[in-house]
Amino acid sequence: MSETAIDFGMDKALQQLGLKEINNGTSTGKDWFSNGEIIESYSPVDGSLIGKVKSTTREDYEKVITTAQKGFKSWRTMPAPQRGEIVRKFNDELRRLKEPLGKLVSYEMGKSYQEGLGEVQEMIDICDFAVGLSRQLHGLTMHSERPGHRMYEQYHPLGVVGIISAFNFPVAVWSWNTALAWVCGDACIWKGSEKTPMTSVACQNIAARVFSENGVPEGISCLITGDYTVGEFMTKDERIPLISATGSTRMGKIVAKTVGERLGKSLLELGGNNAIIVTPDANIKNTVIGAVFGAVGTCGQRCTSTRRLIVHEDVYDKVKNALVNAYQQIRIGNPLDENNHVGPLIDKDAVKNYLSALEKVKAEGGNILVEGGVLEGEGYESGCYVKPAIAEAENHFEIVQHETFGPVLYILKYSGDLQNALDMQNGVRQGLSSAIMTNNLREAERFLSVEGSDCGIANVNIGTSGAEIGGAFGGEKETGGGRESGSDAWKIYMRRQTNTINYTTELPLAQGIKFDL
């Protein structure tokens, strides 16, 4: 551990989270084991080795799935409010350990400390939501066309749920799935990102301890660790009816095909190419705040990060100049230092992709308004710190059509009617998050109408990132079409059943069919 990290309390945080020099990366709850190769986790903050995790072998996985199946049979019979009480106790531990877990998220992933704390807060919020939900797993009652019959539908636990999460939200996305799946009566097997394995082990430590102390059967919360080959254990496994996967569109297509071939269910949260439309009636100050945070928050590594800013020609220069000025005030450095706005990219591969995007936009004729580049010198020894950049571009540029997973904002100009801006916004393959900045009620309503944004998330006068737990999170097109978190997203973790009860002494058939013996 580096001196800088120790200064910010990381050594204490690791101890509080029960992390050791070498951690087993496979767990069924009470039982921890791993027989695979060592994965080393280096911090993008200062390049220091945080710890080592043993990966999951095929034999390890078989033990996990067998234990999860057995645990599920017991867990599903526990009344849902009692399952909710277990989740509440898990939430109590998250509240107690919010600070050390938030620090670990920041140090291992590279997002600012405040964002790390915010991610843990999302875990807390979804657990609160799940506890309330545990008393509301409701179906519907329908009128039957046959006299003396009653019809209704109900939801039963689905089984073992497989969860594959990404490095950019190493703990929150797992909790979105598990908190709901647990109260629904499912067992969960989680493969976190191999780029952030320590946060995964820390979360499983917390869950395993709480579950064990409350007599929960082993296997309800499981962890496996490794690269994509470990994820394939789950995607190809017919014993897992649902795979929830968060990551790139490329990865999602592979998961969807693999799971679909065995007629399993997929919940996919994939790429975003999110845009903010800025009309002549926009509040420029709020526009700049929303665009800057959306573009540089988490160093541009959110699936909801703002990639494109579509600005009307009447306010284009005003918005452009305000943005350029705002970017000069961004402080880049150690994310554990709350004076800094932006931390590092996750690793040097991400840096290469960022630099490649800047070269591509210039090659296609774009104009760099705010120069990017890699920062060097004291405090930037990891080689993962880069400058947030702004480029004037055209929506049809190939690089603009793809998701740039880094702090590069493409500013685009539109003229005429709002429809032209909507055509630009919708004219990409992704459909996750979108926003419009306007004080014109007609423009706002048009943006939200069936002819407006084609994204799963559409905001008015706020940016593209910062979704709340209460709403269903997800997008359309190549974003995958899945929904997580709030609203009725819980239904995907359960199997739906329609029931008809005949309480008469006769057996009338539907549609008036006669069949007399």
DSSP-derived 3-state class of residue 288: helix
Residues 312, 287 contacting (CB under 8 angstroms): no
Distance separating alpha carbons of residues 217 and 204, to the nearest angstrom:
15
Q: Which residues contact 359 (CB under 8 A, 6 or more apart)?
A: none
Q: Which residues contact 437 (CB under 8 A, 6 or more apart)?
A: 276, 277, 278, 279, 282, 283, 286, 287, 290, 461
Q: Please report where in the chains the tokens 């591509």 appear, as a residue.
A: 360
Residues 11, 190 contacting (CB under 8 angstroms): no
Distance separating alpha carbons of residues 399 and 364, to the nearest angstrom:
8
Q: Which of 492, 473, 29, 10 is nearest to 272 (CA)?
A: 473
- Residue 143 backbone phi and psi in degrees, to 5: -85, 135
The DSSP call for residue 342 is: B
Tokens of 365: 């004729």
Distance separating alpha carbons of residues 173 and 170, to the nearest angstrom:
7
Q: Which of 119, 269, 403, 443 is catalytic?
A: 269
Q: Which of 303, 403, 443, 455 is catalytic?
A: 303
Distance separating alpha carbons of residues 93 and 143, to the nearest angstrom:
45
Is residue 303 flagged as an active site residue?
A: yes
Q: Which of 383, 425, 388, 428 is nearest to 408 (CA)?
A: 388
Q: Which of 81, 333, 101 is nearest to 204 (CA)?
A: 101
Residues 466, 475 contacting (CB under 8 angstroms): no
| Amino acid identity at 148 | G
Which residues is 161 bridged to in the sheet?
A: 188, 242
Is residue 188 flagged as an active site residue?
A: no
Q: Judging by beta carbons within 10 Å of its beta carbon (0-12, 13-18, 19+), is residue 517 exposed, middle or buried? A: exposed
Residues with catalytic function: 269, 303
